[in-house]
Amino acid sequence: MPELPEVETVRRTLSDLAVGKTIANVQVRWPKMIKQPEADQFREAVVGETIQAIERRGKFLIFQLDHYTLVSHLRMEGKFSVNEQSEAEAPHTHVVFEFTDKTELRYRDVRKFGTMHLVKKGTEHDLPSLKALGPEPFDSLFTAEYLYEKLKRTSRQVKTALLDQIIVTGLGNIYVDEVLFRSKIHPHRLASSITLKEAGLIHFYTKSVLEEAVKRGGSTIRTYINSQGKKGTFQELLNVYGRAGKACVDCGTEIIKTKTGGRGTHICLNCQPIEKPL
DNA sequence: AGTCTAGCCTGGGAGC
DNA sequence: TGCTCCCAGGCTAGAC
């Protein structure tokens, strides 16, 4: 499940492989994933364009072309790879950008959840999905005080609030569980009950966990691989996610798995008591 | 206006 | 073995 560290790793590996290449043709096998414009207009627009740069905003990949910008979201299972045209195609390949040098950028996605939007260059930040995003975790706007103020003003549980990309962008289900474990905060605490000191812990661990995960090329839980086909290694450092039934690394208490708004949630009830600390 | 829920998807695993 | 059910989960549209 690509969250910020995985998307950033894809951005970096893909930049080395695809920047500077010119699109000669595009095949769209699953038109529904092209959200804007219609698939044939999409094809017509990108043919002849060269990939100038690949950027990231939150969990979105942003391909800067000559006249257009392609905004891609991998959702759960989306993967990009650059292959020789002669190489056999992996199953579930839904979009293929053929380059003029006989290589091609392939997008595959078992679940078909991923999306692509193509807009005129420079207008990408008017897309509702990008426009709504809050600060990047490494942006100077993201501070303990900012987080405290945002959490104070919502009636939601703290985990749900942290997954809201409007408050801070880039956290997903895996890293939010890890951040809350390290902060010793129960995910079901009311966001409005979080103190400034606790917001400081969440702020600190959001940055440190994501930074370390980027260094390690992300976490490979199920199927994630980067654009060079390699797995990440941060899963070795996960303390709670995917460890239900196992002993807490800090206190030995059994990690439990519960639900938060329909999402799996991993907690050490000893390290993360539900009661607000005095 | 803020919050919640269903829907989008398919493969893999559990249970029968 | 083969069937059904459930789960994984980011984001959006629509309901409340």
Q: What is the pLDDT of residues A69-94, one digit of tens each?
A: 999 999 988 999 999 999 999 989 99
pLDDT at residue A277, as a whole number: 42
Q: Is the CB of A207 under 7 A from strand B?
A: no
Confirm whether any atom of chain B, the nucleic acid strand, is less than 7 Å from CB of A165: no
The 10 Å Cβ neighbour count of residue A46 is 20
Taking all residues of chain A, what is their mean pLDDT, rounded to a whole number? 92
What is the structure's pLDDT at A74?
Answer: 93
Span CA (A76) to C1' (C3), Å: 27
Nucleotide nearest to A156 (CA to C1'): B3
Q: Is the CB of A165 under 7 A from strand C?
A: yes
Stretch A136-142: mean pLDDT, rounded? 94
Residue A276 has a pLDDT of 52
Between A261 and A24, where is the model more confident?
A24
SS3 A100: coil
The band of A275, judged by pLDDT with boundaries at 50, 70 and 90, is: confident
pLDDT score for A63: 97
Contact indicator for A184, A272 with CB cutoff of 8 Å: yes
**Hey, what CATH topology would domain A4-129 get?**
N-terminal domain of MutM-like DNA repair proteins (3.20.190)
At residue A234, the pLDDT reads: 86
CA–C1' nearest nucleotide, residue A75: C10
Look at residue A200 and give its three-state secondary structure: helix
- Taking the CA atoms of A145, A147, A148 and A154 in sequence, report the sign of the dihedral they define: positive
Q: What is the distance of C-alpha A91 from the center of its chain?
A: 23
Measured between alpha carbons, how far is A218 from A6 in angstroms, rounded to an integer? 5
With a 7 Å cutoff on the CB, does A163 touch strand C?
yes
Which tens digits make up the pLDDT trace of A188-231?
999 999 999 999 999 999 999 999 999 998 888 777 778 777 88
Q: What is the pLDDT of residues A152-188, one digit of tens each?
A: 999 999 999 999 999 999 999 999 999 999 999 999 9
Instruction: Return positions of chain B under 7 A from a protein CB.
Output: 2-6, 8-11
Q: Would you state the pLDDT for residue A251?
A: 94
Residues of A assigned a catalytic role: 2-3, 59, 263
Q: How far apart are CA A113 and CA A158, in angstroms?
A: 26
Q: What would the two tokens of residue A99 be?
A: 């380059």
| Sign of CA pseudo-dihedral A243, A142, A132, A225 | negative
**CA atoms A174, A179, A181, A185: torsion sign:** negative
**Residue extents of the structural domains in chain A:** 4-129, 144-267
Write out pLDDT tens, residues A33-74.
Answer: 999 998 889 999 999 999 999 999 999 999 999 999 999 999
Instruction: Indicate if CB(A32) is under 7 A from strand B.
Output: yes
Between the two ends of chain A, the Cα-to-Cα distance in Å is: 36
pTM for this model (two decimals)? 0.93
Q: What's at A113, amino acid-wise?
A: F
Would you say the C-beta of A79 is within 7 Å of strand C? no
Return the CATH number of the domain spanning residue range A144-267. 1.10.8.50
The fraction of chain A above a pLDDT of 90, given in percent, is 77
Nucleotide C10: nearest residue by CA–C1'?
A75
Which residues of chain A between 238 and 267 are close to nucleic strand B, CB under 7 A? 261-262
Please give residues of chain A from 96 to 135 whose alpha-adjacent beta carbon (CB) lies under 7 Å from any atom of strand B: 110-113
Distance A166 CA to C14 C1' (A): 19
> Which structure tokens are listed for A163?
């997954």
Nucleotide nearest to A133 (CA to C1'): C11
